[in-house]
């Protein structure tokens, strides 16, 4: 098993929405109030080759930050999440890369 690409990993919820990172560098969105076991919208790519790992969501459910910490260099992706809406419309806002000068290799990232 390759921990950098094995998924799923990071998971958070807000209300009816469950957000899950997967090994193909995608974010998947599920509607917990739906009887369907499929995703609420097409998977959202973060642009990497390793899994979407840790993630967190704001208390109002409007912003979601996910990390691709096994990438070189590691980066995070900020998404506009669903909040309390009854429909799924998650969109990527921006990719955030940490400069090596700020976070040298092997210092605090796994």
Retrieve residue 110's tokens: 């796994």
| Prediction pTM value | 0.84
Preceding amide of 58 cis, omega within 30:
no
How far is the C-alpha of 50 from the C-alpha of 46, rounded, in Å? 10
Residue 65, pLDDT > 80, answer yes
Say what the pLDDT of residue 110 is.
46
Q: What is the mean pLDDT of residues 80-98?
A: 93
Residue 85 token pair: 């809406």
* Per-residue buried b or exposed e for 70-101, using 16+ beta carbons within 10 Å of the residue's own CB: bbeebbbbebebbeeeeebebebeeeeeeeee
């Amino acid at each position: 098993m390759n921990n950098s690409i094995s998924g799923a990993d990071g998971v958070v919820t807000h209300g009816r929405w469950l957000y899950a990172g997967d090994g193909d560098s995608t974010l998947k969105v599920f509607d917990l109030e739906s009887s369907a076991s499929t995703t609420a919208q097409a998977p959202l790519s973060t642009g990497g080759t390793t899994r979407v790992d840790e993630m967190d969501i704001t208390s109002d459910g409007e912003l979601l930050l996910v990390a691709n910490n096994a990438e070189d260099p590691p980066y995070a992706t900020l998404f506009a999440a669903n909040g309390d809406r009854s429909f799924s419309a998650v969109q990527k806002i921006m990719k955030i890369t940490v400069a090596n000068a700020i976070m040298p290799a092997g210092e605090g990232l796994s």
